[in-house]
Homo-oligomer: A and B are copies of this chain.
Amino acid sequence: MLGRLNHVAIAVPDLEAASAIYRDTLGARLTQPQGLPEHGVTVVFIDVGNTKIELLEPLGAQSPIDAFLAKNPSGGIHHICYEVPDILAARDRLKEQGARILGDGQPKIGAHGKPVLFLHPKDFSGTLIELEQE
Contact = CB atoms under 8 A, between A and B. Distances in A.
A50 B50 contact: yes
Contacts of A4: 48-51
Contact of A21 (B49, B55, B76, B125): B125
A121 interface: yes
Contacts of A122: 74
A125 to B, nearest CB: 4
Given A27-B1, A97-B25, A50 B51 contact: yes
Contact of A8 (B1, B8, B22, B26): B8
Given A74-B122, A122-B74, A5 B127 contact: no
Interface centre among A28, A77, A97 (most CB of B within 10 A): A77
B55 A5 contact: no
Interface of A: 1-5, 8, 10, 12, 17-18, 21-22, 24-28, 46, 48-51, 53, 55, 72, 74-77, 80, 82, 93-94, 97, 99, 121-127
